[in-house]
Amino acid sequence: MSKHPLYNLPIRVYFQDTDAGGVVYHASYVNFMERARTEWLRERCGYSNAGLMKEFGVVFVVRSLKLEYLKPALLDDLLNVTAQVKETGRSRVLLKQDVLRGEEKLVEAEVHLVCVAVDSFKPVSVPEVLRKQWKD
């Protein structure tokens, strides 16, 4: 169990998120998780993506993404998308993310992010202000 707090973002399923049968299209979950990570960074860490770029000249990019689809979400479902730090390194952070409908887990994911310089896209150290928050 991670000692890092769990972040939750409610997301409603719209027509644009589904296939013709009203089932959430598999790639839509990636968008849901991106929104949750963005809001987690803003609300829990105190920085928007634009703020990190402006103040530190860095941005987080997805290096790898592991998804397990367990059950489908449907049109008009209210989902809860989570984000939680699992591990950190000098220039990386591993997040655990889940998509839930009530207590029912629909998707679980591990997202490996790397902090890179905006001018070169080469890995750089995570800003100290964030590393202190994420310290294992």
Per residue of the chain (136 residues), give pLDDT as tens. Answer: 457 889 999 999 999 999 999 999 999 999 999 999 999 999 999 999 999 999 999 999 999 999 999 999 999 999 999 999 999 999 999 999 999 999 999 999 999 999 999 999 999 999 999 998 887 5
d(CA 115, CA 32): 21
Q: Tell me the Ramachandran region of residue 98: left when phi exceeds 0, alpha when psi lies from -120 to 50, beta otherwise.
A: beta
Q: In the chain, how long is the greatest CA-to-CA distance?
A: 47
Q: Does any domain span residue 2?
A: no
Whether the pTM exceeds 0.85: the reply is yes
The number of distinct structural domains making up the chain is 1
Question: Is residue 1 a part of any domain in this protein?
Answer: no
Count CB atoms within 10 A of the CB of residue 54: 11
Q: 62: domain CATH number?
A: 3.10.129.10
Q: For residue 104, give its domain range.
A: 7-134
Among candidate residues 19, 76, 77, 98, the one labeled active-site is 19
77 annotated active-site: no
Q: Give the pairing type, strands 78-88 and 104-117.
A: unpaired
